[in-house]
Amino acid sequence: MTIASSLNAGVAGLNANANRLSTISDNIANASTYGYKRVTSDFYSVVIHGDLSTAYSAGGVRSTTHRLIDEHGPLLVTQNSTDLSLDGRGFMPVTTIDSIHRGDSTLPVSLATTGSFKPDADGILRTSAGQVLMGWRANADGTMGTYSRNTMSDLTPVQIAPDLLEANPTTAMTLSANLPAKATQVGANGQTYTMSVPYYGNLGGQETLDYVFTPSVPQTGGATNTWTMQISDSASGGAVIGTYTVTFDGTQGAGGTIASVTPLNSSPAYDSASGVISLTTGGGPLALNIGILGEKGGLSQLDANFAPIGKATNGSPVSRLISVEIDDSGFLHANYGQGFSKVVYQIPVVDVANPNGLASVSNQTYNITAESGSFFLWDAGDGPTGNVMGYSMEQSTTDVTSELTNLISTQRAYSSNVKVIQTVDEMLQETANLKR
């Protein structure tokens, strides 16, 4: 019985060390694999209880393996803006290009810590192994909607057409024109002053807002310091979209600044706190800043010549996509040839309670299991998660020196177990020879 248990223990030792050899081989083979997480093998003794005073039965050993998914490899700088990795805890959601081509109604979502994503012929960001980056699609104006944080159902494949054209409409404009103070005094000729400021509409075409300033000239007394400002829009067929009575302060210190703005004929209201009039043009909504009450800047009335100074603060002609980049917060920006950019996707960072409980699958990706616990989709850098890093790849966590050292010790342990089996075999032969 004791000899047989020794044989079984030797066989168990062979199996355990062979298992450890497999993990070492896998680790060394993937020493240059981006995002690879090394595997370890642990040994546990097996005890068979008996009467130790009369005989001892060898129980042997058993081995278990587990992948250290929570370990982070060093980051390597690359030249591709969509080479992505995580600087800290968390995972990026990915799916497979095959499931997209099949038209699956529900795309399977796996987790990855790094990936070299490049657009294919359809503009889908994917790796050469077929892993497709997933994210939340931004609204047309670049803002993000409200998405569920405990389900993957709102995630979509990140797709950016390489020949994408984009209009960049003007949404804000400033006026800092000076109106001559003498024009509102007794005896002034009532001359009107005009100016035009170009802007870009929703379809990328250039339009203009035309301003007409008409002074209020008194018959007697002092200056009125009052003007009528009329705004016309070329995109609306030249229609008047706003008319206002603007009165300027004539006192010491605040002289020349806006004292009041009164909308006429149901024109959009003036916000005295921000100095903005929210116009509705034929090219889209536009915030016109004419200045805050009592503060310098914006419209003014000083004893000087008419100085028309106005400009659109954003907007550009139709432009073609030239590149995409991701920031630390996981927002994917599309950069256009006219020098503007817009958020097109947000890449959330997925966190689970027990990363080492994830199921490891091919191509350095992982699936959520009951052992990994529930997941939550964070904004990159929030909560326990790290930032998303572009132009970088996470290297393997394999330490080749340590693995080679383990390889030597495993080989010696395997050889020792072989020697145990050989010894038991010799003893059994001696036992069999007793009959001779």
Same domain for 82 and 214, yes or no, is no
CA atoms within 13 Å, Cβ hemisphere of 359: 8
Q: How many domains does the chain have?
A: 3
| pLDDT score recorded for residue 421 | 85
**Terminal CA-to-CA distance of the chain, rounded, Å?**
22
Residue 126 predicted with pLDDT over 80: yes
Domain range for residue 407?
Answer: 2-68+397-435
Q: Encoding tokens for residue 33?
A: 């694999």
CATH number of the domain within which 193 lies: 2.60.98.20
The set of long-range contacts for 404-408, using a CB threshold of 8 Å and a minimum separation of 24, is: 404/28, 406/20, 406/24, 407/21, 407/24, 407/28
Q: Looking at residues 103-115, what average pLDDT do you find?
A: 92
Q: Encoding tokens for residue 322?
A: 């030239």
Same domain for 348 and 365, yes or no, is yes
Alpha-carbon distance of 326 to 390, in angstroms, equals 6
Residue 179 predicted with pLDDT over 70: yes
Q: What is the largest CA-CA distance in the chain?
A: 146
Same domain for 235 and 214, yes or no, is yes
Same domain for 367 and 250, yes or no, is no
Alpha-carbon distance of 374 to 170, in angstroms, equals 44
| pLDDT score recorded for residue 1 | 53
Residue 359 predicted with pLDDT over 70: yes
Q: Residue 234 contacts by C-beta under 8 Å, 6 or more apart in sequence?
A: 207, 208, 209, 210, 282
Tokens 């004893």 correspond to what residue?
303
Q: How confident is the model at residue 337 (pLDDT cuts 50, 70, 90)?
A: confident
Alpha-carbon distance of 148 to 377, in angstroms, equals 8
Q: Which residue, 290, 314, 338, sits at the end of a domain? A: 314
Residue pLDDT, tens place only, 22-72: 999 999 999 999 999 999 998 888 887 666 666 777 778 888 899 999 999
Q: Which residue, 270, 286, 314, sits at the end of a domain? A: 314
- Phi/psi for 306 (5° steps) reads -65, 125
Same domain for 16 and 39, yes or no, is yes
Same domain for 411 and 348, yes or no, is no
Same domain for 276 and 180, yes or no, is yes
Q: E-assigned strands of 249-290?
A: 258-264, 270-271, 276-281, 284-289
- Phi/psi for 286 (5° steps) reads -145, 130
Q: Residue 414 contacts by C-beta under 8 Å, 6 or more apart in sequence?
A: 13, 14, 17, 18, 21
Residue pLDDT, tens place only, 342-357: 999 999 999 999 999 9
Same domain for 263 and 288, yes or no, is yes
Same domain for 186 and 294, yes or no, is yes
CA dist list (Å): 140 to 137, 143, 236, 244, 379: 9, 7, 23, 32, 20
| pLDDT score recorded for residue 252 | 86
Residue 176 predicted with pLDDT over 80: yes
Percentage, residues of the chain above pLDDT 70: 98
Same domain for 362 and 424, yes or no, is no
Q: Compute the mean pLDDT over every residue in the chain, rounded to the nearest whole number.
A: 91
Percentage, residues of the chain above pLDDT 90: 71
pTM reported for the whole predicted model: 0.78
DSSP 392: E
Residue 154 predicted with pLDDT over 90: yes
Same domain for 137 and 38, yes or no, is no
| pLDDT score recorded for residue 172 | 95
Instruction: Centre a 10 Å sphere on the Cβ of residue 430 and count the other Cβ atoms it contains.
Output: 9
Q: Which residue, 394, 409, 426, sits at the end of a domain? A: 394
| pLDDT score recorded for residue 103 | 87
* Helix axes of 2-29 and 400-432: crossing angle, nearest 10 degrees: 160
Same domain for 276 and 189, yes or no, is yes
Q: Looking at residues 260-268, what average pLDDT do you find?
A: 95
